[in-house]
Each structure stands twice: as C-alpha cells, then as structure tokens.
Amino acid sequence: MTIAPISPDTDAATVSGFPFPFVDDTYRYSTNVEPADHIVTTAAGQWGERVIDIDAQYRYELDERAAVLAADPTRHAVLPHMGPATWDAMLTLMRELSTAYPDDFGLIGSGDQWHWENRILGIEQCFVYGDDTTLPIDPLGYICGQIQEDVVLLDQRDGQLFADAGVVTFAADWSFGFDVGMSFLEIHGPVPRVRAEGVITRAHEFIKRLQPHHPYRRTNWTLTIGRRLDVSTERYPEWGPDRDMIRHVDDETFGRLVHLRVEVQHLIRLPDSGAVMFLIRTYMLPLETLAGVEPWRARAAEVFAELPDDMADYKGIIKYKERAAQWLRAAAQRAEPTPQPEQGMPIWPRVPDPVDTAGTSFLIVAIGHGPRIAEVSRDWIAAAEQVGPTRLTVLDSLTEDADRASLADAFEAATTGVRIHIVGGQYDVLTALAAAREAGALGQELSAFVTDTTDLPVYCAHCRDTFRIVGAAGQVLTCPGCSRSIEVHTHHSAARGSFLASASDAGESS
C-alpha cells in the first residue's frame, strides 16, 4: 500500500500560517461565513492576509495539479455558456496576485490588451481579453496552473446557483466530474443535517446576494491520512483502504500520518460576468506537528471526541476519530517538559508570537536581511496595522553604533501601551531586548522571534566587555578582547542581554 508523502515543508512558516478551524470545543455545520477583509490571529500565528495564498509549497502543489489533470481531464470542465466567466475569473485572479505579490506577479494593460508575468515560474503572456486564441489553453485552465487553489464557477440563473465550470484537483471525497452542471442545493444533498437545520438554504441565499469587490470566506475541515491532496471519489481505491490501515499502526506512525485537513473557501462575485467564483485552498498539518501548539492540541482533541457519528461518517473519519482524540490527549503526557527560563537560558518560540491585540500601538524591529526576517516582520506589520498605529524600524546589525542609536530613538518615541516585536539573529535580538528593558519596556510588552542561533552576545568576566561571538553556551572559545580561552556558561542575563563567560580550565591547562 502506498501512502501519500508527508508534507515537504512542515516548517515554522507552515505552522504559523495554518488556518486552525475550531473556535469552540464542539463542531457543527454552519455557514460560518465572514468578510475576507481582515487577518485571523491564531495561537501559532495568523492567516487570511490575502485571498490567494502563495507559500513554500507553490511549485510542489502545481506539479501535483498538473499530474492529476494529465491522469484525469474530467477535473477541468467548462460548460459552453461559461466562456465569459472564465475570462472574468482569470483577470480577477491576475489582479489579485499582482496586487498581493507585486515582486512575483505583474499585470499591465487596460481594455482588451493585457500583459501578464509570473516571475516565479518564468511565464510572460500577452493576451486579448475574450480571445481564446491569445492564450496557450483556455483562461480557467491557464490561471489554475499558476495558483494553489481549486476553482469552481457558479452560474446564477432562475433563482439558483449551478456549478458550471471549474478546475478541481484536490477534492476531499467528492467528484467534480460528477457534480459539474448540478445546482448548489443538489451538490450538498448528501451532507447530513444541513437541510433539516436550514444551513444549506441560508448559504444558498447568502451567496446569491454577494456583490462584486466584497469577497467572503469560510473554513471547512476533515482528516486525511498522509499528505494526499487528491482524495477525490475517483481515486477512492487508492486512499480508501488507509482508513482501516491507520487503526493498526503504532502511535508514532499514527501522529505522523494523520493530518488535519483544512479548506479556506473564498466566495467572490465576478464583476463582469456576474458569476460567483468559489476558491478552495487546502492546508494540511500532521497531528504530531499540531500537538506542538498546546491550544490546538487540546481543542482538536475535544472536537474529535464529541463529533456526532453521522458527521464523522460523512467526513470519512468515523473509524479513527476516537483514536485521533485519544492520541491528542495523550500527547500532553508524551511531550517533553519545556525548559524554564530560570534555568539560565532564553527560551525562543518555534513560531512567531501573534500580535497582541491589547496593544495601543506597535513597534516592529527587524534586524538583518534574511528572507525569514522580512517574512516575519511583514506578517507582524499586516496584523498590527489592523489594530493600531504601527512603526517599522529596520536595522543592519546591532554591532554598529548608528544602528544602536536608531534603536534607542525608536524606543524613546514609544508610548504607554506599545507592543514591541523584535525579529533577527540571536545576538541582535538579545541585544535589542536588553536595550528595550533599559528604556523601560515591561516583559508583557516584548515579543521576539530568533531566526538564527549561530551567534550570541558574550560578556567576558575578565576584560568586562561584551562581544558578538559565533558559538553556543557550553563551548570554549577565544575572547576577542583579552584572547583568553573562555567557557561560555549556561547563564544568561536578560538585563545585560548576554551570556557570562570566564577562563576555561581546559584553556588554562593548555
């Protein structure tokens, strides 16, 4: 039996951007639709800054899409009357991409004449809007080869919505090839409870009232075994047996293979055709990673344990949802004790802290030029600007007097209620935190994320100065000031922002 591969990029960015879907300890079907105009803060980070999300798995998922379409062309269907809607959808998505990611995508033109550039994939294309001969393939297929979202276009006529076009390669136990041409109400007929409780009718009426330029979004979820994006009905013989297999594996394998699968679904009324574009972006996180975020672990365990059988059966997880709940509950006991700050070492979070919405203003300090530094600071800024006045200070390195002076000026300008978020390498972050405390910042006002721990500030007890040294606590190094062999102790001063070091016995004896 072949299990789909584990995510190639289950890293800190994947966790911090994961759209954890549960807001309570119980889950029931609901419309749960909200305007897509704000960032959602979670226990591990945030998501929802953009309608189209381009992340580290961009090329991987596009390759997966191409493979699925090559094997099964029915995943891409456009009924004859939907041609204008596909052009409308393509141009809308291109505008979104070029606005959200101006360094990676470009769209220039007006009227019928346009030039598109995808710098990630090395694509350039001039096209005439509405003229299929000016694109290498049809508009919907063309743009879906450049985004990670599945797309369904809903035509609205005779008071109903119909799924009349789309590219769907990552379906979660449904068949787009079967559903194309069906009404919205017919498609959702098999979903338990939604008709009796009126959920699907309310959703149908809400979508019909959508207006252009006002996108909405919702989340949906299930569990998937392995990082298998395509769990469509057509491929059930490949993945269906995994539901029995997973009940018999050991705990380590269970936590590695079972993924929480979340769809972020956007609803957009297209401005020219009037069709509704339904975007479905799929995110997956293995339970072993999810359990590392304590609020997520605890809440997901409660949701899985309480989920009614008819809903669990429809989601295809009834055979192992109880074990998933038990596994997550047991993960609290399996987890190694977290080192405590009083042991003498700074504790760095695995993912950036979310912006503290209790702040009245925000100071974001980015020190250094690595891509992760830019990404973290950009995410903090986007979230902070939704809450209050936000200032960004970008510095090269705190080994330079000019940068230290700029940092001091930024701290001096801060007012009561500020929240200070610092990102950079370990030396720079520790130095900046010490400077912030010296300027009067309180512990609850400070948050830091370290992108690199290869260097650190070391205070030599003999020459009584602090130096930037490549190394780690416990190592024997040469002091840049007095040239002694010094041992860096596991003893850190938050006030000084440095580690204590003193003459090494090994160094003296040599």
Using alpha carbons, select from 212, 373, 202 the residue that is nearest to residue 277: 212
- Residue of 218, 235, 256, 378 marked catalytic: 218
Task: Return contacts of 475-479, CB within 8 angstroms, 24+ apart.
Answer: 476/504, 476/506, 476/507, 477/501
User: Can 329 be counted among the known catalytic residues?
Assistant: no
Length of the chain: 510
Query: What is the residue type of 285?
Result: L
Using DSSP's 3-state secondary structure scheme, residue 431 falls into helix
Cβ atoms of 470 and 486 within 8 Å: the answer is: no
Using alpha carbons, select from 109, 154, 171 the residue that is nearest to residue 134: 109
Cβ-Cβ contacts under 8 Å for 402 (sequence gap 6 or more): none
The gap between the terminal CA atoms of the chain, to the nearest Å, is 60
What ranges make up the beta strands (E) of 136-229?
A: 150-157, 160-167, 216-225
Cβ atoms of 485 and 503 within 8 Å: the answer is: yes
Tell how strand 361-367 and strand 418-425 pair up: parallel
Name the region of 198 (left: φ>0; alpha: ψ -120 to 50; beta: rest): left
Cβ atoms of 425 and 452 within 8 Å: the answer is: yes
Does an H or E element contain 503, and which?
A: strand 498-503
What ranges make up the beta strands (E) of 3-71?
A: 34-35, 40-41, 46-47
Which string of DSSP letters, residue by residue, matches 320-334? THHHHHHHHHHHHHH
CA–CA distance, 24 with 21 (Å, rounded to integer): 9
Query: Residue 273 to residues 88, 153, 276: CA-CA distances in angstroms?
Result: 6, 11, 9
Using DSSP's 3-state secondary structure scheme, residue 217 falls into strand
Cβ-Cβ contacts under 8 Å for 269 (sequence gap 6 or more): 210, 211, 212, 214, 275, 276, 277
Using alpha carbons, select from 449, 446, 482, 448 the residue that is nearest to residue 467: 482
Q: Where are the alpha helices (DSSP H) in 188-293?
A: 199-208, 236-239, 242-245, 251-257, 287-290
Q: Where are the alpha helices (DSSP H) in 2-41?
A: 12-16
Place of tokens 């059966």: 313
Catalytic center residues: 218
